[in-house]
Structure 1
Amino acid sequence: MALLEWASSLTPQQWAFTAVGAIALLHIVPYLWDANRMRKYPGPFLAKFSYLWLGYHSMMGHRSEVVHEMHRQYGSWVRLAPNYLSIADPDALQIVYAHGNGTSKSDFYDAFVSIRRGVFNSRDRAEHTRKRKIISHIFSAKSVAEFEPSIRLHVMSLIEQWDKYTDMAKKGMSGKEGTGWFGKDNWLWFDCLPWFNFLAFDIIGDLAFGAPFGMIETGADAAPVPKGGVIDCKDETEIEHVPAVQIINDRGEFSMSLGVLPPSWRPIVRRLPWFSNGGMAVRRLAGIAIVAVNKRLKTPTDRVDLLQKLMQGKDDQGLPMGREELTAEAQTQLIAGSDTTSNTSCAIVYWLARYPEAQKKLQKELDDELGVEDEIASTAEQVKRLTYLDAVINEAMRLHSTSALGLPRLVPEDGIHVLGEFFPEGAVLGVPSYTIHRDPQIWGEDVEVYRPERWFEQDAVGIQKTFNPFSFGPRACVGKNLATLELQIIISSLLRRYEFVLQDPTKDLPTAEGFLRKPLDCHVMMRRRDA
């Protein structure tokens, strides 16, 4: 009662000073208490006291570049939030993400849950182990080889479409207004990014749900969802078509920006206008998975694909996944399989167009090794022996770093030692791939130059411990083998057939980062090599 009387007696100015003082104490006391032993590490001033610094730069879409600049300014250890430390040292990878060290995914991953937790955002170690046992065999090298016909089919569909456009370009024809392409001087001028999105979505749609989305055929970003929002995984409803690529982009930005903030802030922050599109994107993305899984389960088939293998998988108790869990895992594969492949494919073409000597060397290897073959799309047997192709892909993944941020790991009960430093329970650590991929001690002083030859020159041990496109340890990307095969077939098939040049050689590849770092466009000139 006395407290209420005191509060009611305050003037508006006193209330304002009281509120400011309370907010200051909430930030200053934890800093002084230093429960996570991070006060000694340098970093942006605001980041020492508040999550606002990291939240702001996550929203702005260039977090990894900003964090990289912080490491250039402060060194290998940078405090990015009150309980989050970024460690830009390749040796830290083996500790922070290693098997048996006890670290787990932080509450950052809670922001990525929609239908239910999947293998990507499961934080419980036992549950993650259970899921991974069911899923991991699906992505073994032997199993992934069974997906090759589907990958090649959609690559051939893309080539058929591009051949039509290049034939029209040779005649000086242009697309209808709004199509974004035109022919000039025997070259096709267009933005290739949407087409890599269409290709990746059709491949993963075929593999994860039993049928492609038909984006290559229509040249449009469209996928079916329940009209009006998400439905129960078993319900029927009216369907509408939405832009799936944009939905995944919006969802990544939303979940990334929300995930870096404390859980107690999230219910309030969700109500802010900036987050409204992201919330809708989460619901629509779940709807895409629900519609696709429902459609597939209505028409049983013995075809070999991810969904069939997920349905056949069983845990240690001999139990298969339930309908809801199956849908959640299929959604995970849709996101991971579309976003990473399209972004990386586009980045590879950009760098090859920017560095024509590398493009010519790759095409010579393709001609020498595959020149007598008749296949439009390369085969897994052909690409596995192409060493320069692998260097081209790896160098683009190093520079572009689709998964660029330092994935956050929570220190366990007993704490851990990292490079001579001890961190207690509750501290959050991450190793930023974008920055270690630019470590001059590993990669040389020309780290910003696209040079595939470095993969034959650099210290193999140094590269092995530093190159981190698929993360590291027990929670690394389970789809690495599938992604690698896709990139090998896509890039070898397209570069064997086409020549690429940048429309503006002075322009850097524009990017934005949600959870993944993505190109915004890639305007190139393309022509058939036999033209």
Structure 2
Amino acid sequence: MDTFGHAKLISPWQLLLTVVVGIITCILILCLQIRYRPGLRKIPGPWLASHVSFADCAMIPKVYGVGSGFWKSDFHLPFDIKAPSGMVPTVFSVRDEKTHRSIRRPIANAYALSTLKELEPMNDACSAVITRKCEEKVGQSIDLGKWLHWYAFDVITSITFSNTLGMMECERDVDNIIGAIQGRLVYNSVVGQATYLHKFLFGNEVSLKLLSLIPALESSKDEEELIDEGVMLSHSSSNIFVGSDTTAASLRAAVYYLCRTSTAHRLFLAGELSDPVTFSEAQAMLYLQAVIKEALRMHQAVGLSLERLVPRGGAEVGGVWSEGGTVVGMNPWVSARDEETYGKDAYTFRPERWLEANEDKLKLMERNFLAFGAGARTCLSKNVSILEMSKLLPQLYRRFDFELTDPTKEWTLHDYWSVSQTGLICTIKRRHNSSTS
């Protein structure tokens, strides 16, 4: 107030100073939190104890195991799908275990290993396209990361809808749908920390666009013959949102690390193979499977903590007592680099570790492997992703060598829940000792 009792207006400079001081204060609080939070967790208070990130792999079965009682947190709320009838949870986003079982049970068979053989023709058709495109581009430097993403998207849409957008044929992100999905993942990772904003901000044009790819919804006139649109959209969107982006990231990781390990790709190409490579043949290629496993370990598709809620009554997690409702979780990148599990060279790409391990060590490595989640919430599309990788990698490497155009340049990682990569720029060279039968 001035001497006459009138309120003074805040000048732009005062406002700017307030904002700057506020930002600096937040940074200082964050630094103090990182430095002292382990001790502060013991002090009562909802904010200090509301989220606990643990690094003890021994806690994985307790938190993520079947029947653990640790439900998914509200972070997953933005992964619900907007259908014409309203918001619909997906098999990935649903929080409670009972509802999860009811959603998962009717479709689980479609993702079982025993049914993968039926999906091979769709995979082979897409594999033929990317192989032909690579043949056309021999000697050229291309953004192979984009091609692998287009491949993963075409495969998953073919499996899900018996139809594709033809991204590989068009050599582009058709309708910017991949860009929209990645934008949605950015949104989910941010709003997942403040889910009360979701109902005000949410607008999911991607899920509604997917409806046009479902032939049954376009052609059938008998509503009684149709599965509820929301249920259908829930299942199909789970495939597209989670399956395409994460599988593409895993494929890029495999190629990138094979480029960095000059002889690795030659070691799993011994022997004769069908053309196209069958899944059963690929499963028998032990070094190939070790390469896939190691690529998944080195580059976890998910880069944020896998959040769970402590059950009512509380629980001790990682040596810290947490009240019921506390959010706890482990980042898959942390478990993947646990030296007690994977050895002193846990930060090194070395597929041989999966072949050298004895039975007990292998069980430990598998138990602490969170590339596809764990327990009852293991990713439903896990087998489909393994199918895609197992069939495509030998199919490409039997014909081509991929070399980083600039080996001195690292790729760039983008962590927005899923960890995407850019900068996988490769020169394609034809191999002259390809193995076919």
Give the TM-score category using the shorter length.
0.7 to 0.9
Match of 2:181 in 1: 248
Percent identical pairs in the alignment equals: 26
Match of 2:44 in 1: none
5+ residue gaps, structure 2, are: 42-46, 83-87
Match of 1:125 in 2: 97
Change (3 A) 1:399 1:75: farther
Letter in 1 for 2:105: K
Tell me whether 1:367 sits opposite 2:270 in the alignment: yes
Tell me whether 1:144 sits opposite 2:116 in the alignment: yes
Match of 1:287 in 2: 208
Tell me whether 1:157 sits opposite 2:59 in the alignment: no
For 1:10 and 1:109, the matched residues in 2 are separated by 49
Match of 1:333 in 2: 239
SS in 2 for 1:430: strand
* Aligned positions of 1:112-511 closer than 5 A: 112-115=79-82, 116-166=88-138, 187-222=139-174, 242-261=175-194, 263-264=195-196, 270=201, 283-293=204-214, 295-299=215-219, 321-362=227-268, 366-370=269-273, 373=274, 375=275, 377-458=276-357, 459-511=361-413
Measured against aligned partners, the alpha-carbon deviations of 1:319-362 in whole angstroms (never above 9, x if no partner) come to x9512221122111111221111111111111101111212323
Measured against aligned partners, the alpha-carbon deviations of 1:267-297 in whole angstroms (never above 9, x if no partner) come to 67x4xxxxxxxx5xx522112212112x443
For 1:464 and 1:421, the matched residues in 2 are separated by 25
* Aligned positions of 1:54-65 closer than 5 A: none
Change (3 A) 1:11 1:431: same
SS in 1 for 2:107: helix
Letter in 2 for 1:466: N
* Alpha-carbon shift at residue 145 of structure 1 (Å): 2.0
* Alpha-carbon shift at residue 448 of structure 1 (Å): 2.3
Q: Is the 8 A contact 2:56 2:318 kept in 1?
A: no
Q: Is the 8 A contact 1:91 1:465 kept in 2?
A: no
SS in 2 for 1:474: helix
For 1:361 and 1:11, the matched residues in 2 are separated by 78
Change (3 A) 1:389 1:85: same
SS in 1 for 2:346: coil
Letter in 2 for 1:245: I
SS in 1 for 2:376: coil
* Alpha-carbon shift at residue 45 of structure 1 (Å): 4.0
For 1:448 and 1:425, the matched residues in 2 are separated by 35
Q: So what's the TM-score if we normalise by structure 2?
A: 0.84
Match of 2:76 in 1: 109
Q: So what's the TM-score if we normalise by structure 1?
A: 0.70
Q: Is the 8 A contact 2:303 2:416 kept in 1?
A: no
* Alpha-carbon shift at residue 125 of structure 1 (Å): 2.8
For 2:397 and 2:319, the matched residues in 1 are separated by 47
Q: Is the 8 A contact 1:47 1:81 kept in 2?
A: no
Change (3 A) 1:392 1:212: same
The CA RMSD over aligned residues, in Å, is 3.1
Q: Is the 8 A contact 1:77 1:87 kept in 2?
A: no
Q: How many residue pairs align between the two structures?
A: 401
Letter in 2 for 1:451: R
For 2:140 and 2:379, the matched residues in 1 are separated by 36
Alignment match of 1:92 (pick from 55, 59, 80): 59
Letter in 1 for 2:79: F
For 1:44 and 1:378, the matched residues in 2 are separated by 56
Change (3 A) 1:354 1:296: farther
5+ residue gaps, structure 1, are: 1-8, 25-42, 50-69, 167-186, 223-241, 271-278, 301-310, 313-319
Q: Is the 8 A contact 1:77 1:88 kept in 2?
A: no
Q: Is the 8 A contact 1:47 1:82 kept in 2?
A: no
Q: Is the 8 A contact 1:78 1:85 kept in 2?
A: no
